[in-house]
Chain A
Amino acid sequence: MSIWEYANPKKFIATTGPALPWLFGAAGLCLSVGLIWGFFFTPDDFRQGSTVKIIYLHVPSAFMAINIWIMMLVTSLIWLIRRHHVSALAARAAAPIGIVMTMIALWTGAIWGEPMWGTWWVWDPRLTSFLILFLFYLGYVALWEAIEDPDTAADLTSVLCIVGSVFALLSRYAVLFWNQGLHQGASLSLDAEENVHDVFWYPLLVCLAGFVLLFVALVLLRTHTEIRLRRMRALEIRAARARA
Chain B
Amino acid sequence: MRRFCEGGGAEPPAANRRRAARLDGTLLPASHGCAVAPGSSKTVRGHFVRALLLRDLRLAVRAGGGFGLALAFFLIVVVLVPFGVGAETSILSRIAPGILWVAALLAALLSLDRIFALDWEDGALPLLATSPLPLEGVALAKALAHWITTGLPLTLAAPVLGILLSLAPTATSWLLASLALGTPALSVIGTFGAALTVGLRRGSLLLSLLVLPLYVPTLIFGAEVVRRGAEGLDPTTPILLLAGITLGCLALLPFAAAAALRINLR
Report which A residues bind B (CB closer than 8 A): 132, 135-136, 138-139, 142-143, 146-147, 152, 155-156, 159-160, 162-164, 167, 170-171, 174-175, 177-178
Contacts and interface: CB of A to CB of B under 8 A. Distances in A.
A132 B216 contact: yes
Interface in B207-260: 209-210, 212-214, 216-217, 220-221, 224, 238, 241, 245, 253, 256, 259-260
Given A136-B213, A138-B209, A171-B216, 11 more contacts: A135-B213, A139-B209, A146-B202, A146-B206, A159-B263, A160-B210, A163-B253, A167-B216, A170-B217, A170-B245, A177-B238
Contact of A156 (B196, B212, B221, B253): B196
A167 B214 contact: yes
Nearest to B196: A156
B206 A143 contact: yes
A156 B264 contact: yes
Contacts of A139: 206, 209-210, 213
Contacts of A167: 213-214, 216-217
Contacts of A136: 213
Contacts of B147: none
Contact of B260 (A142, A156, A178): A156
B263 A156 contact: yes
B210 A152 contact: no
Q: Most chain-A Cβ atoms within 10 A of its Cβ — which of B203, B216, B221?
A: B216
Given A162-B256, A163-B256, A146 B217 contact: no
Nearest to A141: B209
Nearest to B238: A177
B101 interface: no
Contacts of A164: 213-214
Contacts of B3: none
A174 B266 contact: no
B262 to A, nearest CB: 9
Contacts of A171: 213, 216-217, 220
A171 B214 CA distance: 8
A174 B209 CA distance: 20
B264 to A, nearest CB: 7
Given A139-B213, A160-B210, A177 B220 contact: yes
A159 B209 contact: no
Contacts of A135: 209, 212-213
B192 interface: yes
A175 B263 contact: no
A175 B217 CA distance: 8
A230 B238 CA distance: 48
Interface string B182-201: 00000000001000110110
Interface in B135-169: none
B217 A174 contact: yes
A178 B256 CA distance: 28
B196 A152 contact: no
Contacts of B217: 167, 170-171, 174
10 contacts: A139-B209, A142-B209, A142-B210, A146-B200, A167-B216, A170-B217, A171-B220, A174-B216, A174-B241, A177-B220
Nearest to B237: A177
A172 to B, nearest CB: 9
A135 B221 CA distance: 20
Contacts of A155: 263
Contacts of B210: 139, 142-143, 160
A159 B206 contact: no
Q: Most chain-B Cβ atoms within 10 A of its Cβ — which of A159, A164, A175?
A: A159
Contact of B220 (A142, A146, A156, A175): A175
A127 to B, nearest CB: 14
Contacts of A147: 199-200
A159 B213 contact: no
Contact of B221 (A132, A142, A162, A174): A174
Nearest to B189: A167
Given A139-B213, A143-B196, A143-B210, A152 B263 contact: yes
Given A164-B214, A167-B216, A177-B220, A152 B259 contact: no
A176 B76 CA distance: 32
Interface string B37-71: 00000000000000000000000000000000000
A90 B232 CA distance: 51
A162 B259 CA distance: 12
B221 A146 contact: no
Nearest to A172: B217
A143 to B, nearest CB: 7
Nearest to B253: A163
